[in-house]
């Protein structure tokens, strides 16, 4: 089978490797589509690969069809969303052997390429369920409008936020954010987001702030944009080792609350992912614009480059098999 392998900082190749065997409790999935996650980019471009490399790794956002099952509840021909922990992800390969507990059966009607987006959407739903927030009538800020940030925009507006104020460096991502309900979308390459938020909120800041980038540049901004008594959601994966600076004085005096959310794959029953599938299936959210780039596995290096550099109005870069 064809599979991607991470071999050096910023370097991913496609090669031929054996099809994995299937153990008890596992299913063999023929991958149809896989997406490159922002966390994949952090790791591939800032870290060193494991010795020898692992076929299909880092990918953990995938959809496909069961071709062999040694797990009750799954049969050949079933369409599935794969939601393994990131370190166990192998979806950048034509076939992946996974525990049945890391897969969700999918409906037959919706396109698999659209249902692929349920993996990222599910992690965002989980983050908001982990610490439920009352956002009705309140102002919310979302820093970054990659797929995760865009899904926060959609869910916060859907939950009743009065205004959702967002930022990104990509005009294409900001355009998509507007279709999901963003009331203010600031291109930080052309304007100052903090100034815009403070002007929009009469100088008080936002009641909820989501940091969906994970960079040292944007992290301190999550505190600066928060109103007194606000809640901050730190969702973006840190871009590397080392501490992140922020103003503890501001955090303390304004009585802020902050939490992070990760490991949605460990949620009992994977209910957040199942809800994400339903939202896409019934058309509650239009994820089609996210499929901006769909490249064959043989071009996986180009796919990572486009996703990293955000060239050609890239929103979400995915791989097809």
What's the pLDDT tens digit per position in 32-67? 999 999 889 988 998 878 776 788 988 899 999 999
Whether residue 219 contacts residue 199, with contact meaning beta carbons closer than 8 Å, is answered with no
Residue 11 lies in a domain: yes
Give the H/E segment covering residue 158. Answer: helix 147-158
Q: Are residues 253 and 139 in the same domain?
A: yes
User: What rounded mean pLDDT belongs to the chain?
Assistant: 95
The per-residue pLDDT for range 259-278, each reduced to its tens digit, is: 999 999 999 999 999 999 99
Whether residues 221 and 185 share a domain: the answer is yes
Residue 174 within a domain: yes
Residue count (the chain)? 321
**How many helices (H) and strands (E) in the chain?**
10, 15
241 and 178 both lie in a single domain? yes
Same domain, 180 and 101: no
Q: How far apart are CA 210 and CA 225, in angstroms?
A: 10
pLDDT for position 52: 66
Q: How many domains does the chain have?
A: 2
Task: Say which residue the tokens 């930022």 belong to.
Answer: 167
Residues 293, 231 share a domain: no
The mean pLDDT value for 238-256 works out to 92
Is residue 88 domain-shared with residue 138, that is, in the same domain?
no
Q: Does one domain contain both 159 and 274?
A: no
pLDDT of residue 184: 98
What confidence score (pLDDT) does residue 10 get? 93
Question: Within a domain: residue 125?
Answer: no
Q: What is the CATH number of the domain that holds 91?
A: 3.90.180.10
Does residue 254 share a domain with residue 182? yes
DSSP 73-103: T--TT-EEEE---GGG---SBSEEEEEGGGE
Which residues fall within 8 angstroms of residue 120, CB to CB, at 6 or more apart? 35, 37, 61, 147, 148, 151
Considering the domain architecture, whether residues 148 and 65 belong to the same structural domain is answered as no
Is residue 315 within 8 Å of 147, Cβ to Cβ?
yes
- The number of angstroms, rounded, from the C-alpha of 71 to the middle of its chain's C-alpha atoms is 28
Strand pairing category for 184-187 and 163-168: parallel
Final residue before a domain boundary, out of 215, 243, 260: 260
Question: Do the domain assignments include residue 12?
Answer: yes
Task: Look at strands 206-211 and 184-187 and give their pairing.
Answer: unpaired
User: What DSSP assignment string belongs to 118-149?
Assistant: HHHHHHHHHHHHHS----BT-EEEEE--SHHH
Is position 6 within any domain?
A: yes
Say yes or no: 230 and 287 in one domain. no
Instruction: Output the pLDDT for position 284.
Output: 98
Which residue, 260, 282, 298, sits at the end of a domain?
A: 260
* pLDDT one-digit tens code per residue, 62-113: 999 999 999 999 999 999 999 999 888 999 999 999 999 999 999 988 999 9
C-alpha distances in Å from residue 136, one per residue of 126, 157, 161: 19, 9, 5
Answer yes or no: do 10 and 107 share one domain. Answer: yes
| 25 neighbors 33 (Cβ within 8 angstroms) | no
Decide if 177 is inside a domain: yes
Last residue of a domain, one of 221, 238, 260: 260
Residue 126 in any domain: the answer is: no
Per DSSP bridges, beta strands 95-99 and 26-35 are antiparallel
The sign of the dihedral angle between the CA atoms of 217, 223, 158, 162 is: negative
**Alpha carbon 88 to chain centroid, angstroms:** 16
Q: Report percent pLDDT > 90 for the chain.
A: 89
**Would you say 261 and 127 are in contact if contact means Cβ atoms under 8 Å apart?**
yes
pLDDT tens for 142-174 read 999 999 999 999 999 999 999 999 999 999 999
For 316, the domain range is 2-120+269-320
Amino acid 58: pLDDT: 82
Interhelix angle 118-130/147-158, nearest 10 degrees: 50
Assess if residue 127 is contained within a domain.
no
Asked if residue 276 and residue 249 are part of one domain, the reply reads no
Of the candidates 223, 278, 268, the one whose C-alpha atom is nearest the C-alpha of residue 250 is 223
Compute the radius of gyration of the chain from its Cα atoms.
20
Mean pLDDT of 240-250: 89
Domain CATH number, residue 140: 3.40.50.720
106 — phi, psi (to 5°)?
-115, 155
| For residues 286-293, average pLDDT | 95
């Amino acid at each position: 089978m064809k599979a991607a392998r991470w071999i050096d900082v910023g370097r991913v190749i496609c090669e031929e490797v054996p099809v994995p065997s299937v153990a008890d409790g596992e299913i063999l999935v023929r991958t149809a589509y896989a997406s490159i996650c922002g966390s994949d980019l952090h790791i591939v471009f800032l870290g060193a690969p494991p010795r020898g490399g692992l076929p299909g790794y880092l990918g953990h956002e995938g959809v496909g069809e069961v071709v062999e099952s040694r797990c009750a509840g799954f049969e050949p021909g079933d369409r599935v969303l794969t939601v393994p922990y990131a370190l166990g992800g192998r979806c950048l390969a034509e076939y992946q052997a996974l525990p049945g507990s890391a897969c969700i059966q999918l409906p037959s009607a919706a396109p698999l390429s659209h249902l692929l987006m349920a993996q990222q959407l599910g992690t965002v739903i989980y983050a908001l369920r982990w610490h439920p927030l009352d956002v009705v009538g309140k102002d919310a800020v979302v820093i970054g409008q990659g797929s995760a940030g865009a899904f926060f925009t959609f869910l916060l507006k859907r939950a009743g936020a009065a205004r959702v104020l967002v930022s990104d460096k990509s005009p294409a991502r900001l355009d998509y954010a507007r279709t999901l309900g963003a009331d203010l979308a600031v291109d930080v390459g052309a304007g100052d987001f903090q100034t815009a938020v403070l002007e929009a909120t009469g100088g008080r800041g936002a009641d909820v702030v989501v940091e969906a980038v994970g960079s040292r540049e944007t992290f301190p901004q999550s505190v600066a944009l928060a109103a007194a008594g606000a809640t901050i959601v730190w969702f973006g994966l840190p871009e590397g080792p080392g501490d992140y600076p922020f103003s503890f004085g501001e955090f303390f005096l304004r009585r802020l609350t902050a939490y992070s959310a990760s490991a949605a794959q460990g949620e009992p029953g994977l209910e957040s992912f199942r809800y994400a599938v339903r939202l896409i299936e019934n058309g509650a959210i239009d994820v089609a614009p996210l499929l901006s780039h769909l490249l064959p596995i043989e071009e996986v290096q180009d796919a990572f480059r486009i996703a990293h550099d955000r060239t050609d109005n890239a929103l979400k870069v995915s791989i097809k098999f």
